[in-house]
Homo-oligomer: A and B are copies of this chain.
């Protein structure tokens, strides 16, 4: 289609045109705002019915706060019905208690360029969370180590398509269980300057995370500014275990952001039907959000969800499925009606054991439902494989590429005199091409999102070059990114105080491996 004369002409003309390159190697957050309107899956009648069901659940089932008398007491004082460990709320009371939660808030970074906004038309993408294993095409699947953890923090820092450093991106299994949080938070604070997640394995670990952030940001600063998030899972159905509710209270008290995520596989931790899962997620999340507001009214909080389907014949968990994606879309609407930012559903999730076609199809499907429905934060946007058991270096790159493409799409289609390009038609007759019009030359360098994956070329050339699949082509990309990584600057004295804090804390604790 493009003749050699055209190519020469294009090359010549290009020189006169300023090259407005892709931001693919910038570290700054790009496209942190969406321009596309959220998709409305459910009509108001359906949403009303789901909310009524959530109210019914809180009134008739409620939430057990196991072992956490402080949480029970906070709800009792707020007028809830508390019997033994079970908290129930009259219809509407749960929603009422969530009202002080802010609709939007900032997550501050030590690099102001990386400070994020949650809620509204802002969007925050993050890497995977919690995998005990990693895999790459060179070494295969293995337990994750602190080196892998560092690698993922560096990769996340190096891409403009993830806005947030994440939390327990992978489990550093070579570090004692009771000391991991110190090394992980240290990595987020020193190898990156993007917002991050603190530890939730115990109140002590939460306090360590907060103390370490105070070293970087200053003690007073944290009281007024959220700089980190905590991942608070609910043991669905309707159980808050003590670690979760007490760390929730710890972060809320420090005015740091909690994300409350019920965890429901349809048919196991809730009924099998999507509408029921949406209602139960809303009900459970409201209790967690309410608790944050009882601890500190106005503190930042997100409505999260971790839901998916399972094959009810085999018991296998499944991800990126149509039923799960419907729940994701409905939850974005329900969260918006509740008035808190949403971390909805999945990101790029899959049950596949390899970074293959199924993995990317599942991931793309989950991503569309999450992004188009208007979720504000996307966890597991890169790397996740095997239902979260493994972080794949190659899938991380393939997912990043899709994050970039989706972020580009969310900028929408500009309709203007310039983009309608009326003038360019006077230069081209029917049957001719637009390759060298002034309009094409003015736009060619930034008109289209450019894939991170090396180009394959036509089949014959691709075959000559080893017939590399997408995952094989991604292999060289993460290596180059790690190779090119540069640590963001951090004041020497803060770094020193951090390492001293960690040494002191580690010396107080005997190693625990379970």
Contact = CB atoms under 8 A, between A and B. Distances in A.
Given A311-B448, A431-B64, A431-B237, A271 B409 contact: no
21 contacts: A39-B39, A41-B412, A46-B415, A56-B422, A60-B425, A237-B430, A237-B431, A266-B448, A268-B433, A268-B434, A271-B439, A273-B439, A275-B420, A312-B445, A316-B457, A323-B447, A323-B448, A351-B456, A354-B469, A358-B469, A365-B368
A430 B86 contact: yes
A236 to B, nearest CB: 9
B361 A437 contact: no
A235 interface: yes
A321 interface: yes
A323 B69 CA distance: 54
A26 to B, nearest CB: 18
Interface in A425-454: 425, 428, 430-435, 437, 439-440, 443-445, 447-451, 453
Contacts of A130: none
Contact of A448 (B49, B309, B434, B439): B309
A409 B2 CA distance: 40
Interface string A265-303: 111111111111011000000000000000000000000
Interface in A178-224: none
Contacts of A352: 456, 470
Interface stretch (A106-114, A158-166, A324-332, A495-503): A324-332
A131 to B, nearest CB: 12
Interface stretch (A70-78, A247-255, A375-383, A400-408): A400-408
Contacts of A363: 361
A440 to B, nearest CB: 5
Contact of A390 (B359, B414, B459): B459
Contacts of A447: 266-267, 272-273, 312, 323
Given A309-B448, A413-B330, A276 B322 contact: no
Contact of A405 (B49, B270, B321, B415): B321
Given A312-B447, A408-B322, A456-B352, A361 B276 contact: no
Contact of A53 (B414, B422, B443): B422
B356 A358 contact: no
A56 B414 CA distance: 19
A395 interface: yes
Q: How many copies does the complex hold?
A: 2
Contact of A275 (B416, B433, B440): B416
B402 A361 contact: yes
Contacts of A420: 49-50, 53, 273, 275-276, 279
A53 B36 CA distance: 22
A353 interface: yes
A482 interface: no
A59 to B, nearest CB: 11
Given A270-B434, A271-B434, 6 more contacts: A56-B422, A237-B430, A237-B434, A238-B431, A357-B469, A361-B364
A361 B358 contact: no
A94 interface: no
